Structure 1
């Protein structure tokens, strides 16, 4: 049995070093508790900018920061790099590949993964974007597609290599489509002699009737127009019905030949509900009470994308501010219980607004009644994202990279590294 901290104070174990988990740890900085933070990575990743790693704007180090460094000044936290495998509620232990960790309070902030809506066999051919490994692998596949297109003499193969399909018209899909279009239309244009990267075909496919369904229809329509002006083919109301290594098939029988497909259509919660044997919703999220504790287990809390709140609390989107607010609330509840004070009331989510960037000088912002588009929306989006990055170095690095990219249209992180894992993805030029 692993117990990194042998003390008599209440033991708080947090699974997941994302926005929610870190917020709980920070919120308990002055409480008389011993915290063990468990994550399979040693870093905290700023997920909203993963697509910029995938499209060679930023390097992984620009949007990730070692968890041990983030919490190095907090004496009551121990970091453990381990894979969570389950929960033993009777023994009050978190089960990991490094052993069992006893807890008095347990916080599950294990996030979400990709949902293929019952078609998990599509995953190898249309990878999603959830962590640094996903982003660097996707960057490889995008860049290698251009390299192989340069090397091949077969026109049909070249067209397939230069066709990029993004499935899902939410913020991630929109941002990826715009970024891939900018790579093809601007960044790579001077670099190739036998192909014109500007001929690349970028498709954004959405099963619903409009892009960005959480935004007002007017902003969705603006996004649609701007993407088309950038050369992106937008197909709405066209669900994908089949996906393989070299094509996708849409409802109605249309087949699109493509070597690079990216999944941005949905997510499902981690296995936290299964670990607890608790009730879950259709997306696999664990149902919690109004204080974010699991029913019948007041010592266990679930936050972020893994939590399904009671209907009376209203819908809570799976975004970073929501996870951070949940983390603050759980920290306050635990601190109150440990200190013998009345616990705060039910959790209340405060929605600040919605943002999505489309491309250079184009974004959509919805803040209450305020709506921004164009350059103002794009500038506001950039300021907000730089502000929420962890660490001054990261903020400076991202801001400088964005400035360089804006002035030169060049992307500094265009390195092809790693090995192909997608059986439908292009291989390296030497393998042609």
Structure 2
């Protein structure tokens, strides 16, 4: 009977884990180990693009890729991990309970925006998961059928972090496409920070300020949304903003499956892992992507919940899960170079390097790079066995 590496999740971390594990098995001519991916769909949801229009297209099918490299896909939703028995319980496509045994497991079940217990929060949209992003897109497209009013023409974005800024910067163009070029639109960012773009630090702040001014974005700083309803929000200071569209972008948390793994977790619910992405004290369990908190270098920097880190984390986790099963040397996870490329809508973008986010490019130059990242770099490799396995080498830098 074959030994099994089971990967939970088909996002960036899960997909690259499957490819990298298969790569190492292939390198050692091992046909006695199978790689299984358990996920609701055999597709990569390109989540970093969910703030863009045409979001229903931001899906990359994985069936042909998995078939090409010999990865087995199991359609289902993981419900329970029994680390003592080395068994995962799940619901299959028909909703029936089933189990999968494993010899090594890679947890790559991702993260979600967790909405707070605010009055009316169910009226808010988000760009976190595909179904919600599609719901927002349909809503924005339908606004033109409503009577002209300040509420119809206003969008409130709760949160001024990376996702909030990208979403807000894209909204003027999306609203005008729905309402007409002459519509009197407003896009308001509500953020707890004391200055615009505070969450991203001083480096890109001037670009964010410039883009906000040019795009007409308004900011409510030192502020929080206290309640939501069908026609707007009430802020913590009592101000009411009438808006038919409220988008929630704060409060991301790792998959609750992390709570079933004995180990230390951070404030986001991520499991702390060692340099090989193994959960300390659990020789059969690896974590990757948004469920892993890993050291990226020797300077105290830790991985972020981003596809930039998830790609490299996936390549390392799958490789090292296979290495531990084969008894060969693992590859230490390191991701020394960190960059950000923040989309600022029609203004352009800002590209920074380093953890202190030193600006390297702005406007059209940075926008061109952002479009290349979003449309090419983060997509799966072609369904060609040799090329796909070569791309899964954990020593390939995500950012050169």
**TM-score normalised to the size of structure 1?**
0.78
Q: Which residue of structure 1 aligns with residue 169 of structure 2?
A: 178
Q: Which residue of structure 1 aligns with residue 5 of structure 2?
A: 12
Q: Which residue of structure 2 aligns with residue 209 of structure 1?
A: 194
Asked if 2 retains the 8 angstrom alpha-carbon contact of 1:272 and 1:286, the reply is no
**Candidates 193, 201, 209, aligned match of 1:224:** 209
State how far apart, in whole Å, the 2-side matches of 1:323 and 1:392 are: 15
Asked if 1 retains the 8 angstrom alpha-carbon contact of 2:348 and 2:364, the reply is yes
Structure 2: tracts of 5 or more residues without a match: 93-97, 383-400
Compute the displacement of 1:230 (Å): 1.3
Secondary structure of the residue aligned to 1:166 is strand
Compute the displacement of 1:170 (Å): 1.6
Distance 1:114 1:303, change over 3 A: same
Compute the displacement of 1:310 (Å): 6.2
**Candidates 68, 71, 79, aligned match of 1:73:** 68
Q: How does 1:112-127 map to 2 (within 5 A)?
A: 112-116=111-115, 118-119=116-117, 123-127=121-125
**Number of equivalenced pairs:** 365
Q: Which residue of structure 1 aligns with residue 338 of structure 2?
A: 352
Distance 1:187 1:140, change over 3 A: closer
Structure 1: tracts of 5 or more residues without a match: 1-7, 151-157, 191-195, 394-432
**Candidates 319, 331, 336, aligned match of 1:332:** 319
State how far apart, in whole Å, the 2-side matches of 1:340 and 1:180 are: 52
Matched, 1:41 2:41: yes
Q: Which residue of structure 1 aligns with residue 228 of structure 2?
A: 243
CA-based RMSD: 2.3
1:9-47, Cα deviation, whole Å (9 max, x unpaired): 320000010111111111122403201101112311111
Secondary structure of the residue aligned to 2:322 is helix
Secondary structure of the residue aligned to 1:356 is strand
Matched, 1:259 2:244: yes
Q: Which residue of structure 2 aligns with residue 385 of structure 1?
A: 374
4+ residue runs of structure 1 moved beyond 6 angstroms?
none
Q: Which residue of structure 2 aligns with residue 129 of structure 1?
A: 127
Compute the displacement of 1:120 (Å): 6.0
Asked if 1 retains the 8 angstrom alpha-carbon contact of 2:168 and 2:189, the reply is yes
Matched, 1:296 2:296: no
**TM-score normalised to the size of structure 2?**
0.84
**Candidates 235, 238, 258, aligned match of 1:273:** 258
Asked if 1 retains the 8 angstrom alpha-carbon contact of 2:341 and 2:349, the reply is yes
State how far apart, in whole Å, the 2-side matches of 1:224 and 1:332 are: 42
Secondary structure of the residue aligned to 1:140 is helix
Compute the displacement of 1:49 (Å): 0.9
